[in-house]
Chain A
Amino acid sequence: ELKVEQNPLFLSMQEGKNYTIYCNYSTTSDRLYWYRQDPGKSLESLFVLLSNGAVKQEGRLMASLDTKARLSTLHITAAVHDLSATYFCAVNQAGTALIFGKGTTLSVSS
């Protein structure tokens, strides 16, 4: 059974600082997803990582995937208040449905 663990679950950051969110998963998978969710809203796709060593960047967010370690990271550079949200990683289970981590709630303050 596929398990997906994120840490930390809560993250309070100061503007301008860097930080990393970690996503570990328990079994082999062919793709990993990162989503953002604002309060009361649906999920917004950030990145889809398809292969070992994949790295994708969008603005202040950069995601990477190490399939051998079963680990993905979401790195935040020079955080700004607009990045405050909950971030989820999700792993494809045998080509059928995504299994999600519990999410990381990020709060960025000045």
Chain B
Amino acid sequence: NAGVTQTPKFQVLKTGQSMTLQCAQDMNHEYMSWYRQDPGMGLRLIHYSVGAGITDQGEVPNGYNVSRSTTEDFPLRLLSAAPSQTSVYFCASRGAAGGSSYNEQFFGPGTRLTVL
């Protein structure tokens, strides 16, 4: 298993540009989440999904869109990048409630994004 993969690892954008951060998992997990990490702020939840076709907002959803068309993929879209979105982005996945992998949340390696 590759676990949770994220691409790209690094990205530099100009203000106003759009882009999609990719996240995929090969563990057949139902739950997937996106977090951003900023110095002194811990990890803050952006959006999450409890299954294909179901998404919901987290703590800091503004400026980001998500969709979940398959169990494996959970892309995060920045519609019009702003310097305030400079951060490290982590994707995570977890199995469905009642399953053996429900208790463990796995994280991807992260994407370091800079918006100029």
Contact = CB atoms under 8 A, between A and B. Distances in A.
A and B part of one assembly: yes
Interface of A: 6, 9, 31, 33, 42-43, 45, 48, 50, 88, 90, 95-103
Interface of B: 31, 33, 35, 40-45, 48, 50, 56, 58-59, 90, 92, 97, 103-110
Main secondary structure of the interface of A (DSSP, over half): strand
Contacts of A33: 105
Contacts, number: 48
A102 B59 CA distance: 14
Nearest to B112: A40
A99 B108 CA distance: 17
A96 B41 contact: no
Given A100-B44, A102-B40, A102-B42, 18 more contacts: A33-B105, A42-B108, A42-B109, A42-B110, A48-B104, A88-B42, A90-B105, A96-B31, A96-B48, A96-B56, A97-B33, A97-B45, A98-B33, A98-B45, A98-B92, A100-B45, A101-B42, A102-B41
A18 to B, nearest CB: 25
